[in-house]
Amino acid sequence: MAGAEGSAGRQSELEPVVSLVDVLEEDEELENEACAVLGGSDSEKCSYSQGSVKRQALYACSTCTPEGEEPAGICLACSYECHGSHKLFELYTKRNFRCDCGNSKFKNLGCKLFPDKAKINSGNKYNDNFFGLYCICKRPYPDPDDEIPDEMIQCAVCEDWFHGRHLGAIPPESGDFQEMVCQACMKRCSFLWAYAAQLAVTKVSAEDDGLVLNVDGIGDLEVIKPENGDHQDSTLKEDVPERGKDAVKEVKAEQTNEPCTSSSSEPDLQTAFKNQHLNMESQAGCRLQELNAKQFLKKDTATYWPVNWRSKLCTCKDCMKMYGELDVLFLTDEYDTVLAYENKGKVDQAADRRDPLMDTLNSMDRVQQVELICEYNDLKTELKDYLKRFADEGTVVKREDIQQFFEEFQSKKRRRVDGLQYYCS
């Protein structure tokens, strides 16, 4: 008997002890995560009627559209109602997508929630994610053959998911970044390199105290360090676009040979600039032009961006035209981000979440409400005092301890009712 008790004691010592607080915190974390991903999407109505939804939770059905068939995506509600027993790939969220459920891509299935759909959604964009493959390695996630622990990060532009080790640049250890732009998208949207030098979480430069020339690829880099006395010249060169540098040099030469001794020479300087830069007037105030005049580096890597970095992008006429041609106008929309979608989901869920206690109170008359509130306050106070004893002693609360508490509480309650003693703690 003693041996059995000793064995049981050793086993209990080996088993990890999980407190009630740990369970509640883990449950709350999972609930918040679910609210973040699903909260912004309707779980009962097909999203097709909304057209191309700005951002929503999406799924791909491997049962209906396996690899080799045309890719298709379904909304949250259809994943429940029309594909509940099917094998689904969770795609997290995608932008500007219209639900495909039941259209021509589904040979033997009609949508139960919105059957009257067009044969195809021409505005939708698809990638290998819709067949359960991710990253440049085109592997599933989780990957049973991959023994290397690694997190997956979604590109803010193409919305594919990538292993951190396959991005050409290790993600910041602190994880202190909001969005990532993959290597392929940085190459296609090369204008982002000018912004990366100023905004990226991991600065794209070879040395902290030097400026790196605009170069493509990852070959030899030329680093130019400002020298003493050259601050004014380097500042002037940086503030003017590349194609105007020759004019700047000419103006600086004139300014050096004929020092300004009065305000009368200012019009000559302004005239020189005006004559040399008439073709640049349309770019006045363009942030990208200003950044392009500075020296930065282009590499074959992904980049990591902080919160609100999109608000720093230039929105002049020419830049907006460029975004449209590259099909990245969404980068100028702060509400396009996954963070904005998650925050909206949390707010919507909080607004919809009903408090059972308040629902019960609303169904009672005034006297019943007062009695219930008193009982609730008594329970809260006594339970807090009861659990405090365990915390002070450093002991674990067991199932029988909780049962004992409620038995004693019910006994006290009966005595109060019999004595007609109604009070609030």
Domain boundaries, the chain: 42-129, 132-202+289-353, 356-418
Distances (CA, A) of 86 to 61, 65, 117: 7, 11, 21
Mean predicted confidence (pLDDT) in 310-319: 96
pTM, to two decimals: 0.63
Please give the Cα distance from 365 to 367 (Å, whole number). Answer: 6
Structure confidence at residue 17 as a pLDDT band (50, 70, 90): low
List, as own/partner pairs, every contact residues 231-240 make where C-beta atoms lie below 8 angstroms and the sequence separation is at least 24, other chains included: 237/293, 238/293, 238/294, 238/295, 239/290, 239/293, 240/293
User: Beta-carbon neighbour count of residue 239 at 10 Å?
Assistant: 13
Share of the chain above pLDDT 90, in %: 44
Is residue 183 within 8 A of residue 168, CB to CB? The reply is yes
Rounded to 5°, angle at Cα 289 from 283 and 295: 160
Which amino acid is located at 251 in the chain?
A: V
Segment 78-103, tens digit of pLDDT:
999 999 999 999 999 999 999 999 99
pLDDT band of residue 173 (cuts 50, 70, 90) is confident
What pLDDT is recorded for position 389?
Answer: 85
Q: What is the pLDDT of residue 181?
A: 98
The fold of 132-202+289-353 is Herpes Virus-1 (3.30.40)
